[in-house]
Amino acid sequence: MRLVLLGPPGAGKGTQAQWLKERYGIPQLSTGDMLRAAVAAGTEIGRQAKAVMERGELVSDEIMIGVIAERLRSPDCARGFVLDGFPRTVAQAEALERLLAERGEKLDAVIELAVDTEALVERIAGRFACAKCGAGYHDRFKRPAVEGVCDVCGGTEFVRRKDDNAEAVRTRLQAYAAQTAPLLPFYRQRGLLRTVDGMAPIAEVTAAIRRALEDIAG
Ligand code: AP5
Ligand code: MG
Ligand code: ZN
C-alpha cells in the first residue's frame, strides 16, 4: 500500500499514520519528524531547516525531495509506505511521481483529512508528545491512560513542539493554503484523492480511512 496523508497542520496526519503503519505493516515517512531529528542531531540539513521550521515556513523543495528520494531507497519501503507531510508542493508531488515511476510504482491513494481552521488551532495548542518515544497526545482529546505516563513506553517526560505557537501556526496555515492546497486538484485529476471528514473523533476518522481503502482494494 502506497499512501499519502494530506491535510493542514493539526489535521491528524501523524495520529492516523500511526494506525496505518500497524494495519498495513508499512513505514510512516513523516518529513516533519525527519527534519526535527535532523535539527536535534545538528546535521547540515538540520542546520538549514531549523529557523525555517520555527517560523512555520516550508523547507526548500530541493532539500525535501532529496530526503524522500533517499528514504524511499530503504528496503523497508519496498512493500509500501504512508507519507505524512510530503508532498507539500506541486513540485514535490511531481518529483514523487517521477521517483515512483522509475521503480515501476505509483500511489494507491491520497487521503485528505478535512478539518476546520478553528479546530486545527485548538488541536495544535493542546498537543504534546512523549520525549522518549514520540507518541502523540492532546490535553483534551487524547490524554495518557495514566496521568503523566506514556501509554506506549512508560516514559514520564513530555515535550511540546517549538512551532506550535500562535505566530508559527498562522504561517503554517498560510503555507498550507498557498502551497499545499493545490495538491487537492492535482490528485483529484489523477483519480487518487479520497477525502475523509477529519472533524470526527480519532477512532471515527480511522474507521472512515479504513472504509475508503477497502473501497480501493475492491
Ligand atoms: P509537520 O511535522 O508535517 O507539521 P504539520 O504539517 O504542520 O502537521 P502537524 O504534525 O502539526 O499535524 P498532524 O496533521 O500530524 O496532526 P497530529 O496527528 O499531530 O511539519 C513541520 C514543519 O516541517 C513544516 O512547517 C515545515 O517547515 C517542515 N516540513 C515538513 N515536511 C515538509 C515538506 N514536505 N516540505 C517542506 N517543508 C516541510 O494531531 C494534532 C493534535 O490533534 C494531536 O494532539 C492529536 O492528538 C489531536 N488529534 C488528532 N486527530 C484528532 C481528532 N480526530 N479529534 C481530536 N483531536 C485529534
Ligand atoms: Mg504530524
Ligand atoms: Zn513514550
Backbone angles phi, psi at 175, to 5 degrees: -60, -40
- CA nearest to 169, candidates 56, 48, 40, 61: 56
- Torsion over CA: 55, 175, 27, 212 (sign): positive
CA 13, CA 32: separation in Å to the nearest integer?
A: 11
What is the Å distance from ligand 2's center to 90 Cα? 20
Q: What is the pLDDT of residue 216?
A: 82
Residue located nearest, by CA, to atom 49 of ligand 1? 12
Q: What is the pLDDT of residue 218?
A: 66
- The set of residues, in sequence order, having a beta carbon less than 8 Å from that of 90 and lying 6+ positions away, is 182, 183, 186
Which ligand has an atom closest to residue 33 CA? 1
What pTM does this model have? 0.95
What is the Å distance from ligand 3's center to 142 Cα? 14
Q: Is 161 labeled as catalytic in the residue annotation?
A: yes
- CA nearest to 90, candidates 178, 205, 171: 178
Residue located nearest, by CA, to atom 21 of ligand 1? 32
Residue located nearest, by CA, to atom 40 of ligand 1? 10
**Mutate-to-test residue for ligand 1 from 4, 5, 6, 15, highest number of ligand atoms within 8 A of CB:** 15
What is the Å distance from ligand 3's center to 129 Cα? 8
Q: Which stretches of the chain drop beneath a pLDDT of 50?
A: none
Kindly state the helix (H) or strand (E) to which residue 188 belongs, with its residue range. helix 183-189
Cell reading at 106: 505509483
Q: What is the pLDDT of residue 127?
A: 95
What is the Å distance from ligand 1's center to 100 Cα? 24
Within 10 angstroms of residue 180's Cβ, the number of other Cβ atoms is: 22
Residue located nearest, by CA, to atom 20 of ligand 1? 32
Q: What is the pLDDT of residue 215?
A: 84
